[in-house]
Amino acid sequence: MKCALVTGGSRGIGRAICYKMAEMGYYVLVNYKANIHEADKTLAQIKQNGGDGELLRFDVADKDDINQILGTWIETSTDKYIEILVNNAGIKDDVLMMWMKDEQWSNVIKTSLDGFFYVTRLVINSMLLKKYGRIINVVSLSGLKGLPGQVNYSAAKAGVIGATKALAQEVGRRGITVNAVAPGFIKTDMTEGLDEKELRSIIPVKRFGTPEEVAHAVAFLASTEAAYITGEILSVNGGLYS
Ligand code: NAP
């Protein structure tokens, strides 16, 4: 059975990606860290739409958790294989660098950059054996452009962008593509405190994006037809970055 693993699938962009993956016919592994209630809602909606999947709780910032929970799942689920990996889980913790605490730096880096490394390293083995796979990393405008107050977040996402380009070159010959989507301002819990009315003046399309619009870009890169696109960063930002 072909599976799509979506990290941070319980809410926001990850939830919309889970729905898209189910629509594409994948058995969806909905990862989350703590919010089982929201993760349950995602899975229930997948099933209501006629799809299938399961919850897989692990903390992407904790390599032991990843190795134990995801590693065990891979070892024991011999009838299932992860064909699509979407590294979506992420956090922000904004503050000017002069006031940034050690944990604010390391928590953000661990979640996005270490999470990418430890999850992908486990999952890629079976893709290499099958000679097919799609890896899509959810990065950010912040990682392309750098944003003040987000030195930790910009560094984490820029790190994943570099890793995307490098890994794409390592595995291209094995039928695996590695790409990233870079959202701008998207309406989710992460942007809840931001003033859309004020910020839309700087966005060419004059609004925040939706999780579904990001999921659409992920689905495109996850399709079999996107086989000749790899190492690419696709911006989904209403024209904000130019
Ligand atoms: P969100 O609404 O805050 O949701 C975050 C998701 O990530 C939740 O499912 C959460 O799980 C999960 N998560 C957080 N830390 C985790 C960990 N250590 N292990 C496993 N799961 C973890 O965020 P979002 O706006 O959808 O963002 C999704 C991705 O898009 C992130 O990588 C973010 O950086 C990126 N992004 C977002 C925007 C935006 O404007 N929203 C813009 C650019 C990039 P729980 O529910 O269990 O907490």
Whether the CB of 185 sits within 6 Å of ligand 1: yes
- In order of their start, the domains of the chain are 2-236 (3.40.50.720)
Closest CA to 239 of 197, 191, 195, 207: 207
Q: For 37-75, write each residue's pLDDT tens digit.
A: 999 999 999 999 999 999 999 999 999 999 999 999 999
> What separation in Å is there between the alpha carbon of 24 and the centre of ligand 1?
22
Pocket test for ligand 1, best of 42, 86, 91, 92 (most atoms within 8 A of CB): 91
Given a contact cutoff of 8 angstroms between Cβ atoms, the answer to whether 139 and 181 are in contact is yes
Q: For 218-236, write each residue's pLDDT tens digit.
A: 999 999 999 999 999 999 9
Residue 157 is predicted with a pLDDT of: 98
Q: What is the dihedral of CA 164, 124, 2, 58, to 10 degrees?
A: -90
Return the H-helix or E-strand segment holding 162. Answer: helix 151-171
Which of the four pLDDT bands, split at 50, 70 and 90, describes residue 242? low
Catalytic residue among 81, 118, 153, 228: 153
**CA 227/CA 18 separation, integer angstroms:** 21
Whether the CB of 40 sits within 6 Å of ligand 1: no
What's the average model confidence in pLDDT over 125-131? 97
Sheet of 2-6, strands arranged across: 52-57, 27-32, 2-6, 81-87, 133-138, 176-183, 233-236
Whether the CB of 111 sits within 6 Å of ligand 1: yes
Q: Which two tokens stand for residue 149?
A: 């107050």
Residue 40 is predicted with a pLDDT of: 98
**144: pLDDT strictly greater than 90:** yes
Burial track 141-152 (b if 16+ CB lie within 10 A, e otherwise) = bbbbbebeebbb
Distances in Å between the alpha carbon of 110 and those of 105, 117, 118, 153, 204?
9, 10, 10, 10, 33
Whether the CB of 13 sits within 6 Å of ligand 1: yes
Distances in Å between the alpha carbon of 118 and those of 66, 110, 204, 209?
7, 10, 37, 30
Q: Mapping DSSP to helix (H, G, I), strand (E, B) and coil, where does residue 225 land? A: helix
Residue 87 is predicted with a pLDDT of: 99
Would you call 153 a catalytic residue per the annotation? yes
Residue 241 is predicted with a pLDDT of: 74
Task: Look up tokens 């037809």; give the residue.
Answer: 225
What percent of the chain lies above the pLDDT cut of 90?
A: 99
Q: For 160-196, write each residue's pLDDT tens digit.
A: 999 999 999 999 999 999 999 999 999 999 999 999 9
CB neighbour list of residue 153: distance below 8 Å, 6 or more residues apart: 92, 93, 94, 108, 112, 140, 142, 143, 147
Calculate the average pLDDT of the chain.
97
Return the H-helix or E-strand segment holding 81. Answer: strand 81-87
